[in-house]
Amino acid sequence: MKSVLFICVYNSARSQLAEGLARYLGKGRIEAYSAGLHETGVNPYAIEVMKEIGIDISSQRSKSVQEYIDGEFDYVITLCSEAEGTCPVFPGNAVVMHWPLRDPNTMGETREQKLEAFRLARDDIFKRINELLKDILD
Q: Which member of 4, 5, 8, 121 is catalytic? A: 8
Domain of 109: which CATH number? 3.40.50.2300
With 0.85 as the threshold, say if the pTM is over it: yes
List CB contacts of 58: < 8 A, sequence separation 6 or more: 42, 47, 51
Q: Is-catalytic flag, 3?
A: no
The stretch 119-135 carries a mean pLDDT of 96
The stretch 29-47 carries a mean pLDDT of 93
Q: Which member of 22, 37, 46, 80 is catalytic? A: 80
Q: Which member of 46, 87, 125, 133 is catalytic? A: 87
Q: Which of 21-30, 75-84, 118-127 has the lowest mean pLDDT?
A: 75-84
Q: Are residues 67 and 90 in contact, defined by beta-carbon separation less than 8 angstroms?
A: no
The stretch 112-131 carries a mean pLDDT of 97
pLDDT of residue 87: 58
Burial (Cβ within 10 Å: 0-12, 13-18, ≥19) of residue 78? buried
Q: Is-catalytic flag, 118?
A: no
Q: Is-catalytic flag, 80?
A: yes
Q: Domain of residue 111: give its range.
A: 2-137
The stretch 4-10 carries a mean pLDDT of 91
Express as a percent the part of the chain with pLDDT over 70.
91
pLDDT of residue 80: 79
Sheet holding 95-98, edge to edge: 30-36, 2-8, 75-78, 95-98
pLDDT bucket at 69, cuts 50 / 70 / 90: confident
* Phi and psi torsions of 31, nearest 5°: -105, 125
Q: How many structural domains compose the chain? A: 1
Over 80: is that where the pLDDT of 117 sits? Answer: yes
Distance from C-alpha of 122 to C-alpha of 91, rounded to nearest angstrom: 29
Q: pLDDT higher for 50 or 137?
A: 50
Other residues' Cβ atoms within 10 Å of the Cβ of residue 55? 18
